[in-house]
Amino acid sequence: MNKNIDRCIKYYRAGSDKRWVACLAASRVVGGYDRNATSHLAYALSLSISQVENLAKAGKAYRALRRFGVDSEVRKALTPSHFAAMWDLKHKLRFDDHEAAAQLRTAAIESVSVAQMAGLITGEYSEGEPQYLKWADKMFDAAKKMVESVDVPEHVQRAGYHYMQAYTEWRNEPKDA
């Protein structure tokens, strides 16, 4: 694990040309057995925990989607932020790896920004979605900010954490349930 932490720090500091190596290394660190590894990386890179998690999501997305046609040309045409956003969208909107890869290839061909890509995909997949689902998603985002902020009282952070747990369990239920 330490090797990947060192690698992530080295290549992140090397600049945007080496950012993908940092993303791939972060994907091997974040969510692993060392509970302090993410915060250690955040401190070493002067980033927030969520920024380090986004590096890891980008690396995980690239690694998972390579076998579905997301090659180095697609990776070079897009930023790690595209891949991190796709990783979140794929899980939030519940589409498969084939669809995620196709959406990234389209984003690369059309040279769309992260916001444009996310907006188009969200609109495509959430047409007719009940309003309460949108509210629940916004509440999750707010709860995550409460949990990650250092100036929030502990009891409020706990409430945010409990909401995030309940939301995650609820959203990860099979669609037919």
Which tens digit of pLDDT belongs to each residue from 91-131? 888 888 999 999 999 999 999 999 999 998 888 776 666 77
Tell me how far apart the alpha carbons of residues 167 and 171 are, in angstroms, rounded to a whole number. 6
- What residue spans define the domains of the chain? 2-125, 131-171
With beta carbons less than 8 A apart as the criterion, state whether 140 and 166 touch.
no
Q: What's the pLDDT score for residue 176?
A: 54
Is pLDDT above 60 for 86? yes
Tell me how far apart the alpha carbons of residues 116 and 128 are, in angstroms, rounded to a whole number. 20
Q: Which two tokens stand for residue 141?
A: 């985002």
Q: What's the pLDDT score for residue 44?
A: 94
Q: What's the pLDDT score for residue 175?
A: 57
Tell me how far apart the alpha carbons of residues 47 and 162 are, in angstroms, rounded to a whole number. 25
Q: What's the pLDDT score for residue 155?
A: 93
What does the CA dihedral 103, 106, 107, 108 come to, rounded to 10 degrees?
130
> What is the per-residue pLDDT across 3-54, written as a single tens digit (0 to 9) for each?
999 999 999 999 888 999 999 999 999 987 777 899 999 999 999 999 999 9
